[in-house]
Amino acid sequence: MLNGLDQVGWDRLTHAYGPADDVPDQIRDLVSPDEDRRQKALWELSGNIYHQGTIYEATAYAVPFLLEVLTAPECDEQPQLLSLLCSIVTGFDEMWLPGGLPVADHRARAAGGEAVLAAAPRPGDDGFDEDEADYEYVEGLSDEDRGRMFAHIWVRAYDAVRAGVPVFRALLTWEPPVACMAAYTLAWFPEDAPESLRALANLTEGDDEGVVAATAAVATGLLGGRPAITLDDPRPIARWGAAIALATVDGPDATDDVVDELISAAAGALPDSDRVPFLDGNLAAYAGGALRLTGDRHAARTFDALLERVPSVSGTSAFHVVKEALHLAFPAGALPAGTGYPSLDDRQRRLVDALAGSPGTWLIDGRNFGNFGMLVREYGLPASSDALRDYATTR
């Protein structure tokens, strides 16, 4: 297997840490009989061809070999590989949820990007500096050319992963952890929706808890289809998935029972589940985001449910819940500079008070969560609970 791996000019391609000549051995290690080597290879590939939401020229070249590994008899890491492939496509899925991935927009932005990338310096060129050359080239581009180049890199990687869609459909029949990740992966390829929807429609069982069925339902909604499971399903997570899908498809026409199910979830009726791939398993936050799709009619009830959650969450759960609450409280975006607490409306003051009185919400693993503070700052508010408390007491 992996024929052709050494025929790729990896030393002329770059990833997050310079020349990509370490990638072939890492891909081979994915099928090593040594679990430690497999895990190390996954960790390395999740930091070089994909790095904190960014992909590189080498990424698209690596993907066909990752797809080959995915179904190899020697591979025991299918869920993790699918997760890496999804990360290459989405970065962080919170960027696109609840609405789905706008592939056509990316394709339009990529026009002309191939020529910009072709002109970039490469390892082996005279005077190439691994630490500076690529950076200087990118920084010297206009905003338009930089956007075209990065969009082109993304489209090439996206299409490389898209070639695996038939494989992902076949993996829906595997054991639950693999089937769940395969369903999640299919959600990001709307151009292949018809056949994927037919395959996902068969995924109504899979596990007693309903995680596989729920994931398939959410994927179905993102692909524009109606879920095969219903709000009468006895499994709470399955009902959550059905409600998410129906809100995604029906939007403002979603029925009251869909909204009721989502509001219950947004209020914390279901615990987070790291077995659900979407939004890191934060069921409450995704329910809040899906409610956004149903229009202003339910905004007050949604906000109340999210506000009730604020004191009891922290870390990434807090980030997702508060993100939706901020969106509802500040629909116009950031406050104008100098806006004082008395100038806030009732909903805004209630959220400020909740955040100011919930110092634990600002933490992750007992430490200050920088990304959370940045999120709050984006709306023109102080970026710590202490500073927000002072803000709320200033008249």
CB of 347 closer than 8 Å to CB of 302: no
Tens digits of pLDDT across the chain (395 residues): 788 999 999 999 989 888 999 999 999 999 999 999 999 999 999 999 999 999 999 999 999 999 999 999 888 899 999 999 999 999 999 999 999 999 999 999 999 999 999 998 888 887 677 666 567 788 889 999 999 999 999 999 999 999 999 999 999 999 999 999 999 999 999 999 999 999 999 999 888 899 999 999 999 999 999 999 999 999 999 999 999 999 999 999 999 999 999 999 988 889 889 899 999 999 988 998 899 899 888 888 889 988 998 999 998 889 988 998 999 999 999 999 989 999 999 999 999 999 999 999 999 999 999 999 999 999 999 999 999 999 998 76
Looking at the DSSP bridge assignments, the partners of residue 51 are 54
CB of 106 closer than 8 Å to CB of 154: yes
Q: Residue 264 — φ and ψ, nearest 5°? A: -60, -45
Check residue 132 and give its pLDDT. Answer: 60
Q: What is the 3-state secondary structure (H, E, C) of 8-24?
A: CCHHHCEECCEECCCHH
Which tokens is 9 given? 């000019």
Parallel, antiparallel or unpaired: strands 18-19 and 14-15: antiparallel
Neighbours of 35 (CB within 10 A): 10
Check residue 134 and give its pLDDT. Answer: 67
Q: What is the DSSP letter of 348?
A: H
Which tokens is 77 given? 């890491």
Say which residue the tokens 């430690």 belong to.
Answer: 36
Q: Which residues of 156-173 are buried (b: 16+ CB within 10 A; e: fewer)?
A: bbbebbbebbebbbebbe
Q: Which amino acid is at 23?
A: V
CA distances from 146 to 19, 114, 135, 137, 159 (A): 20, 11, 12, 10, 20
How would DSSP label each residue in 216-254?
A: HHHHHHHTT---SS-TT-SSHHHHHHHHHHHHHHHGGG-
Check residue 207 and give its pLDDT. Answer: 86
CA distances from 105 to 109, 115, 187, 220 (A): 6, 19, 17, 21
CA distances from 268 to 161, 192, 254, 313 (A): 35, 34, 21, 10
How far does the chain reach from its first CA to its final CA, in angstroms? 70
Report the predicted TM-score, pTM, of the whole model to 2 decimal places. 0.88
Q: Which amino acid is at 375?
A: L
Beta-strand runs (E) in the chain: 14-15, 18-19, 50-51, 54-55, 363-364, 367-368
Please state, in angstroms and rounded to a whole number, the distance separating the CA atoms of residues 157 and 155: 5
